[in-house]
């Protein structure tokens, strides 16, 4: 599979929303409450939420496309951190890295995270932060392989239910990934 990672534009909000909702459902439908899942997809992963994110001056988002003319299979996005740990002006948060499950193992995730890390460094950021559901073992293992370590815990609201997220960090000042 040839893979293209391209920056998003404001015209991509609907596509980002579709990928976000599909991957969130794939990942969490088997253990999150259905009403909470629906509310989260509607409010946090909808087209309007992505349009607002794309409009932020410090935000960066990318789509992963498996081949020219084919639809996206994943995306990643950076934004200023919004986490319950001490942060610094040179921090940035990996808000999302979503890949359709059919493309797990096809190097889409690594390509997206490499793109996000390169951009964060180009922006002069020293640390990349993220939050990940504490029961998402596959994602946690991926982040650890990518050089992230535990930095704290946060409560994350999905619909009306609070969940535990791990907060993870990667030092971007180190040259080896």
**Domain, as residue range, for 25:** 4-171
Q: Is residue 38 part of a domain?
A: yes
Predicted TM-score (pTM) of the model is: 0.92
Q: How many domains does the chain have?
A: 1
Q: Is residue 177 part of a domain?
A: no
Tell me whether strands 91-99 and 127-133 are parallel, antiparallel or unpaired: parallel
List the chain pLDDT tens, one digit each, 177 residues.
789 999 999 999 999 999 999 999 998 888 888 898 899 899 999 999 999 999 999 999 999 999 878 899 999 999 999 998 999 999 999 999 999 999 999 999 999 999 999 999 999 999 999 999 998 999 999 999 999 999 999 987 788 888 889 999 999 998 654
Q: Phi/psi of residue 12, each to 5°?
A: -95, 0
CATH number at residue 99: 3.40.630.30
Q: Is residue 31 part of a domain?
A: yes
Q: Is residue 11 part of a domain?
A: yes
Q: Is residue 46 part of a domain?
A: yes
Q: Is residue 176 part of a domain?
A: no
């Amino acid at each position: 599979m040839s893979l293209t990672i391209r920056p998003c534009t404001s015209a991509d909000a609907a596509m980002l929303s579709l990928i976000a909702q599909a991957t969130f459902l794939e990942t969490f439908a088997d253990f999150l409450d259905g009403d909470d899942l629906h509310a989260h997809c509607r409010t946090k992963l909808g087209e309007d939420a992505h349009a607002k994110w794309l409009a932020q001056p410090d935000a960066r988002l990318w789509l992963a496309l498996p081949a020219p003319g084919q639809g996206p299979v994943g995306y990643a996005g950076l934004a200023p951190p919004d986490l319950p740990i001490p942060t610094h002006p040179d921090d940035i948060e990996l808000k999302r890295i979503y890949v359709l499950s059919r493309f797990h193992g096809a190097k889409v995730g690594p390509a997206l995270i490499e793109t996000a890390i390169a951009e964060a460094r180009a922006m002069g950021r020293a640390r990349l932060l993220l939050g990940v559901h504490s029961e998402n073992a596959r994602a946690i293992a991926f982040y650890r392989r990518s050089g992230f370590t535990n930095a704290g815990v946060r409560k994350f609201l999905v619909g009306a239910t609070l969940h535990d997220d791990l907060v993870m960090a990667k030092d971007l000042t180190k040259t080896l990934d």
